[in-house]
Amino acid sequence: MKKLLILGGTGDALVLAERLQQISGLTVISSLAGRTQQPVLPVGQMRIGGFGGEQGLIDYLKAHQIDFLIDATHPFARQISENACGAALTCGVPFLILERSAWSATLEDHWLEVPDHQAAANLLPQLGQRIFLTIGRQELGFYAHLQDLWFLMRSIDPPDLSEIPPGEMLLAKGPFDLNAERELLQKYQIQAIVSKNSGGKATYGKILAARELGLPVVMIQRPKTPAGERVDSMEQAIEWLQGQLDYSTASSF
């Protein structure tokens, strides 16, 4: 039996784990960081919690004799991606990054692209008084000093920060469709949106709604990810793994 470790936390990782159960001779292990209180659990074997940095992941790959590694974490989970790249290189484990394509602005969009949360926070006083923060809960502290603004904040779990911006917190999990997002923006009289460029369909409704309503979107760009083989679709990831399995089988003769 060959062993695949999927570094998960995204819907893509869940679907990938389920589809790979059909491949005979392969054991699929999914790893979740454990940051979500009630995560949707993948099919098959799994583990929850961090590895303890790159060395911890190296130790895990060796101890569990992992043959292949796929990084299907969130596009903004830069540290685990760097750790995965380094650990795979050290252990000689074939490594693939499954990363959904980023969103692209259309001519109808009004995007203000920024590199990080600090730059986003600096722009907001120029854009209005009522801001929709759709960045999750971990980076809310970057906006806590903007006490003259009002924020609608949405995340899956309650924030654990001692300081959050003034406003209202909504606990919800996507997908969010266009109609619901349009209604939300109008109900709260939102004047601007802050979003990460996460890509995918599940949270794209807010971008469509902002386009319709003519609202500016402060779009935080993705951090640089490590070099390595990369695909943006489930089919390509499965094709890559099948190729690795075929090569491994041929090499054993």
Cα pseudo-dihedral 90, 95, 98, 104, rounded to 10: 70
Question: Does one domain contain both 19 and 69?
Answer: yes
Question: Does one domain contain both 131 and 179?
Answer: yes
Question: Does one domain contain both 95 and 120?
Answer: no
Question: Does one domain contain both 129 and 210?
Answer: yes
Categorize the per-residue pLDDT at 223 as very low, low, confident or very high, splitting at 50, 70 and 90: confident
Residue 106 in domain: no
**Contact call for residues 150 and 130 (beta carbons, < 8 A):** yes
Least confident range of 70-74, 77-81, 122-126: 77-81
Question: Does one domain contain both 71 and 51?
Answer: yes
Question: Does one domain contain both 185 and 122?
Answer: yes
Mean pLDDT along residues 196-225:
94
Question: Does one domain contain both 135 and 193?
Answer: yes
According to DSSP, the residues that pair with 171 across neighbouring strands are 155
Q: Is 91 exposed, middle or buried (0-12, 13-18, 19+ CB in 10 A)?
A: middle
Total tally of structural domains belonging to the chain: 2
Quickly list DSSP for 129-142: SEEEEES-STTGGG
First-to-last C-alpha distance (Å) of the chain = 16
Residues 6 or more apart from 146 whose CB is under 8 A from it? 121, 124, 125, 165
Question: Does one domain contain both 238 and 180?
Answer: no
The label of the residue with tokens 């690795």 reads 244
Residues 6 or more apart from 185 whose CB is under 8 A from it? 132, 193, 206, 209, 210, 213, 215
Question: Does one domain contain both 118 and 206?
Answer: yes
pTM attached to this predicted model: 0.85
Q: Does the pLDDT of residue 202 top 90, yes or no?
A: no
Cα–Cα distance for residue pair 193/190, rounded to 1 Å: 8
Cα pseudo-dihedral 33, 34, 40, 43, rounded to 10: 60
Question: Does one domain contain both 54 and 144?
Answer: no
Cα–Cα distance for residue pair 36/34, rounded to 1 Å: 6
**Helix (H) and strand (E) counts in the chain:** 7, 12
pLDDT digits (tens, 9 = 90+) for 232-249: 998 999 999 999 988 776
Question: Does one domain contain both 38 and 78?
Answer: yes
CATH classification at residue 183 = 3.40.50.720
**Contact call for residues 70 and 96 (beta carbons, < 8 A):** yes
Q: Write down the pLDDT at residue 253.
A: 52
Categorize the per-residue pLDDT at 218 as very low, low, confident or very high, splitting at 50, 70 and 90: very high
Q: What share of the chain is helix, strand, coil (3-state, %, to 5)?
A: 35, 20, 45
Q: Does the pLDDT of residue 152 top 60, yes or no?
A: yes
Q: How many CB atoms lie within 10 A of CB 140?
A: 22
Q: Write down the pLDDT at residue 160.
A: 73
Question: Does one domain contain both 33 and 117?
Answer: no
Q: Does the pLDDT of residue 170 top 70, yes or no?
A: yes
The parent domain of residue 96 ranges over 2-101+224-251
Phi, psi for residue 10 in degrees, rounded to 5: -125, 165
